Amino acid sequence: MLRITDARTGDSVTATPARRGLTRVEAHVPRPDTTGLRVLLIADVLVRALEIGGTPVWTVLTGTEGRAELRARARALGIRPFEDERDSSPGLGESQVLRVRGPDDERVGDEPADGGPTSEAAAAGGTTTGGRAGGLRVEVAPADIESGVARDDENATALRLALLARPRGETLRLGAADLAEAEDQLKRWRGAVATWATRPSGPIPDPVRDQLRAAWEDDLDVPAVLGVLRKVETSGTVPDGARFETYAYADRLLGLELTRDIGRGAPA
């Protein structure tokens, strides 16, 4: 079961409501800068984790200046669209609200200044009336890219990986070397996945599946998920077909297009 640390209290809170219902994930992005992009990316991965667990999700984008620029950059990174708050319909009766935000936002949407009811209370069966009361706060540290580093669509997925490779609470400044390292890792993994796809299929080993789920369900620890994939890559006991299934499964969370090169022939 996915648990997230509430930035308001420091408590580890169940992110999925005990009473099955719609969960609202609200990404608050004041500006279309790299920090804003990181906030939206973490919200995207959070949505993926909830959906893998079978939780229905409603996504909302709030507080953004330069929405067109943000949406264009987000689309290049494989971030799925979030609804504009002004276009969303209130009163859907969601039973949980998760607000993803940067560290400098004093208030998020209509969140009460005192924080309102806790998420645990909502998860226990209370509702959050249109997502306006309580809710769990997911805080994301600032991120920046050094000047002169290319920011085109060609290295967009490498940027996604570089942003996901460090804990979301750690301030991040990316340089050309960071993006080159991420690009090299993507190329290696995609080539390996394309090769493994030609081998007889095999199920994901139960210990590997458990390690992946334990990683992302523990406060959405994406760096730990990537660590599991690195171990599987060099494992002498996991068959190639099972490696393929492992990477394809993990990519439902990561969104790195790890199966993109299947059928394209030998990598360059």
Q: What is the pLDDT of residues 123-149, one digit of tens each?
A: 333 333 333 346 899 999 999 998 767
Least confident of 11-20, 102-111, 169-178, 257-266: 102-111
The pLDDT score that the predictor gives to residue 251 is 98
More confident residue, 187 or 85: 187
> 3-state SS of 104-156?
CCCCCCCCCCCCCCCHHHHHCCCCCHHHCCCCEEEECCCEEECCCCCCCHHHH
Mean pLDDT of 92-113: 67
Place of tokens 């909830």: 50
Looking at the chain, the whole-number percentage of residues with pLDDT higher than 90 is 70
From the options 3.40.50, 1.20.120, 1.10.3470, 2.30.30, give the CATH code of 159-167+175-254: 1.20.120
Contact 80, 44 (CB under 8 A): yes
Alpha helix (H) residue ranges in the chain: 34-52, 67-76, 119-123, 156-164, 176-196, 206-217, 222-234, 240-254
Q: How far is CA 257 from CA 160, 222, 251, in A?
A: 11, 16, 7
Domain residue spans of the chain: 3-140, 159-167+175-254
Q: How confident is the model at residue 19 (pLDDT cuts 50, 70, 90)?
A: low
List, for residues 163-204, the tens digit of each pLDDT value: 999 999 999 999 999 999 999 999 999 999 999 999 999 999
pTM: 0.86
Residue-wise pLDDT for 31-50, tens only, equals 999 999 999 999 999 999 99
Q: Which one has a higher pLDDT value, 265 or 71?
A: 71
